[in-house]
C-alpha cells in the first residue's frame, strides 16, 4: 500500500474543518460531520428512530443546540457557547433563568488542577443542564445574579451513523470503526476520523483481498446500534480496528482484542515490532472505546484498537487544549502508515499447502533461482522460499513463517507468490 504524498496535511486540514462542529451522540452536528466526510468518500447514512431497541439499550432522544450563555448583570457573556461548544454540558436540557452565582455553581464544571482549560462533560441519560468553563474564569466572577440561557431541544428524532465499504475479492470483512460523538476535540476523535478517511481512499485505489467496512458512529450507543442491526451478518467480520487519539505526538499504542491472540493482534504486534517504531502493546480491558462493544462475549470479534497516547493518558484529554494545534500531520501520517502496513499483511496472510512435500523440490529447474539473479537480497529471498515450503502444511500462515524465520513478511509473501506461480504450493489446507 503506497503512501500518499501530502496525506498528513490533508488529514490535518480535515480535522481543522470538522473541529468547530458541535457533535454529540445524536443531532445535526453528527449529520454535518458526515456530510463533510461524505465529500471525501461515499457514505451510506443510516437514521435510527428514537425508541428503537438495540440490544440492551434504547436509542435516546435527539439533542440539538443553537445557543447558550451565562451573562453578567451588564449583559456581557462570561461563558459563551459561540466561543466554544465545550462550554455546554452535552445533552443539556433547555433553560432560561436568572440566578445568583451561589445557585449557579452547582451547574458549573471546571478543572481546578488545570485552571486555564475548559473541560468536556456530558450527561446523556440523566436530564440536567450545565456549563463548562475554566477555573480562572469562575474565580474571576463576582457574586451577582447571572442570566442563564441554553437554547436546546431534546425530542424524538434519530441516531445517525454511516458506513463506507471498499469491496474486496472476498465477502469476509475487516471493519474500521471511529466515533463521531465528541464536539471540539481534535485528537479524540477527529484525528481518527481523518485517518480512516485517508485509509479508505487508499484502499479504494487497490483491489484488496478483504472487503473493508468503515463505520462512523457515536461512541457506545452507535457501535451497539450497528451490532444490533448487523447481528445476522456479523460472522462476516474476520478482523477489525478501532481508531482513536490518532494524531498526538506520543508513541503508538495497540490495545489487543479480548481474545488476545486474534489475527489482528498478531499482525499489529508484528508490524510494530518490525518497523522498530517506539510503541506499546496493551492487553484488553473492558473500558475505553468501541472495541469493548465489538469484543463483548456474545460477538467476541477480533477487533483491537490503535491510538497514539491512550484515552485519559495525556493532560489535554477531554479539555479545550485538545485542539488542532495539539495534533500533527506527521503523527497522523505515521498512524496511517501503520494501518497501511498492517492491512497489507492482513490482506496477504494465507495458509498454503506444499504440493511437493517429499524432500526439497528442485527450484533451479523451475527458474526460481534465476528469478533472483541480481537481487541484493537474493540469499534472503531464497531462504524465504525454503521456509515457505517447509511450513506450508495447510495449518501455518505466512505470518507464522515470518515470525518463525525472522524474515520480513513482505519477503515471505513474495516468495509464496513465486512458489504458487511455479505450482509448488496452493492456497488453503489439505
Please check the confidence at residue 372 and state whether its pLDDT lies above 80: no
Alpha-carbon distance of 157 to 395, in angstroms, equals 51
Count CB atoms within 10 A of the CB of residue 123.
Answer: 14
| Average pLDDT in the chain | 95
Across residues 139-151, what is the average pLDDT?
98
Percent of the chain with pLDDT strictly greater than 70? 97
The C-alpha cell 497514539 sits at 308
Q: At 376, is the pLDDT very low, low, confident or very high (cuts 50, 70, 90)?
A: low
Across residues 93-113, what is the average pLDDT?
98
Please check the confidence at residue 378 and state whether its pLDDT lies above 80: no
Q: Which stretches within 276-328 are classed as H helix?
A: 291-294
User: Could you report the per-residue pLDDT of 9-64, keeping only the tens digit for each?
Assistant: 999 999 999 999 999 999 999 999 999 999 999 999 999 999 999 999 999 999 99
Please check the confidence at residue 374 and state whether its pLDDT lies above 90: no
C-alpha cell at 254: 495497540
Please check the confidence at residue 364 and state whether its pLDDT lies above 90: no
> Residue 412, SS3?
helix
Phi first, then psi, for residue 221 (nearest 5°) are: -65, -30
- DSSP designation for 324: T
Cα–Cα separations (whole angstroms), residue 78 to 9, 96, 108, 140, 306: 35, 16, 13, 10, 39
- Among the listed residues 388, 377, 382, the one whose alpha carbon sits nearest the alpha carbon of residue 413: 388
Domains, the chain, with CATH or none: 7-60+158-348 (3.40.630.10), 62-154 (3.50.30.90), 351-427 (1.10.10.10)
Please check the confidence at residue 2 and state whether its pLDDT lies above 60: no
User: Could you report the per-residue pLDDT of 290-318, keeping only the tens digit for each?
Assistant: 999 999 999 999 999 999 999 999 999 99
Please check the confidence at residue 228 and state whether its pLDDT lies above 50: yes
E strands, 26-122, are: 44-49, 53-54, 57-58, 62-71, 77-80, 95-100, 108-109
Q: At 3, is the pLDDT very low, low, confident or very high (cuts 50, 70, 90)?
A: very low
Spatial CB neighbours of 174, under 8 Å, sequence gap ≥ 6: 210, 211, 212, 213, 237, 238, 239, 240, 241, 343, 346
Say if CB 332 and CB 342 are below 8 A apart.
Answer: no
Burial class (CB in 10 A: 0-12, 13-18, 19+), 232: exposed
Count CB atoms within 10 A of the CB of residue 297.
Answer: 7
- DSSP designation for 143: S
Alpha-carbon distance of 364 to 144, in angstroms, equals 91
Please check the confidence at residue 199 and state whether its pLDDT lies above 70: yes
E strands, 87-143, are: 95-100, 108-109, 131-132
Q: At 368, is the pLDDT very low, low, confident or very high (cuts 50, 70, 90)?
A: confident
- Among the listed residues 6, 37, 4, the one whose alpha carbon sits nearest the alpha carbon of residue 340: 4
Spatial CB neighbours of 77, under 8 Å, sequence gap ≥ 6: 69, 70, 71
Residue 410 CA to its chain's centroid (Å): 25
Q: Which pLDDT belongs to residue 43?
A: 98
Please check the confidence at residue 375 and state whether its pLDDT lies above 60: no
Q: Which pLDDT belongs to residue 234?
A: 97
- DSSP designation for 308: S
Alpha-carbon distance of 263 to 249, in angstroms, equals 27
Across residues 179-195, what is the average pLDDT?
97
Spatial CB neighbours of 357, under 8 Å, sequence gap ≥ 6: none
Alpha-carbon distance of 281 to 252, in angstroms, equals 9
Count CB atoms within 10 A of the CB of residue 155.
Answer: 10
Q: At 429, is the pLDDT very low, low, confident or very high (cuts 50, 70, 90)?
A: low
3-state secondary structure 310-352: CCCCCCCCCECCCCCCCCCHHHHHHHHHHHHHHHHHHHHCCEE
Alpha-carbon distance of 345 to 269, in angstroms, equals 11
Amino acid at each position: 500500500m503506497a503512501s500518499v504524498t501530502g496525506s498528513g496535511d490533508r488529514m490535518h486540514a480535515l480535522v481543522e474543518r470538522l473541529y468547530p462542529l458541535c457533535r454529540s451522540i445524536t443531532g445535526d452536528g453528527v449529520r454535518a460531520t458526515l456530510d463533510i466526510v461524505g465529500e471525501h468518500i461515499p457514505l451510506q447514512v443510516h437514521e435510527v428512530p428514537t425508541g428503537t431497541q438495540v440490544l440492551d439499550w434504547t436509542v435516546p432522544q435527539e439533542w440539538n443546540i443553537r445557543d447558550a450563555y451565562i451573562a453578567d448583570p451588564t449583559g456581557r457573556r462570561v461563558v459563551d457557547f459561540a466561543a466554544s461548544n465545550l462550554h455546554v454540558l452535552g445533552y443539556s436540557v433547555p433553560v432560561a433563568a436568572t440566578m445568583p452565582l451561589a445557585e449557579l455553581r452547582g451547574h458549573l464544571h471546571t478543572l481546578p488542577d488545570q485552571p486555564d482549560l475548559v473541560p468536556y462533560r456530558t450527561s446523556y441519560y440523566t436530564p440536567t443542564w450545565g456549563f463548562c468553563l475554566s477555573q480562572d474564569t469562575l474565580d474571576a466572577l463576582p457574586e451577582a445574579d447571572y442570566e442563564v440561557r441554553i437554547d436546546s431541544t431534546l425530542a424524538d428524532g434519530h441516531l445517525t451513523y454511516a458506513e463506507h465499504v471498499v469491496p474486496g475479492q472476498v465477502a469476509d470483512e475487516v471493519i474500521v470503526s471511529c466515533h463521531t460523538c465528541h464536539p471540539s476535540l481534535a485528537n479524540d476523535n477527529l484525528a481518527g476520523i481523518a485517518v480512516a478517511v485517508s485509509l479508505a481512499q487508499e484502499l479504494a485505489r487497490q483491489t484488496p483481498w478483504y472487503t473493508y467496512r468503515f463505520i462512523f458512529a457515536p461512541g457506545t450507543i452507535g457501535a451497539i446500534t450497528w451490532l444490533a442491526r448487523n447481528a445476522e451478518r456479523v460472522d462476516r467480520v474476520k478482523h477489525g480496528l478501532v481508531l482513536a487519539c490518532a494524531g498526538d505526538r506520543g508513541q503508538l499504542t495497540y490495545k489487543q482484542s479480548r481474545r488476545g491472540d486474534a489475527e489482528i493482534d498478531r499482525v499489529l504486534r508484528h508490524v510494530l515490532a518490525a518497523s522498530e517504531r517506539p510503541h506499546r502493546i496493551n492487553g484488553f480491558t473492558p473500558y475505553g472505546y468501541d472495541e469493548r462493544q465489538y469484543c463483548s462475549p456474545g460477538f467476541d470479534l477480533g477487533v483491537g484498537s490503535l491510538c497514539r497516547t491512550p484515552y485519559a493518558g495525556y493532560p489535554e484529554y477531554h479539555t479545550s487544549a485538545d485542539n488542532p494545534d495539539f495534533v500533527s500531520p506527521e503523527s497522523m501520517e505515521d498512524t496511517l502508515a501503520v494501518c497501511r502496513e498492517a492491512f497489507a499483511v492482513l490482506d496477504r496472510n494465507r495458509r498454503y499447502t506444499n504440493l511437493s512435500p517429499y524432500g526439497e523440490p528442485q527450484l533451479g529447474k523451475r527458474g526460481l533461482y534465476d528469478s533472483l539473479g541480481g537481487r541484493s537480497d537474493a540469499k534472503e529471498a531464497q531462504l524465504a522460499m525454503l521456509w515457505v515450503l517447509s511450513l506450508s502444511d495447510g495449518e501455518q500462515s505466512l505470518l507464522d513463517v515470518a515470525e518463525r524465520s525472522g524474515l520480513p513478511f513482505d519477503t515471505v509473501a513474495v516468495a509464496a507468490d513465486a512458489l504458487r506461480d511455479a505450482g509448488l504450493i496452493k492456497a488453503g489446507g489439505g
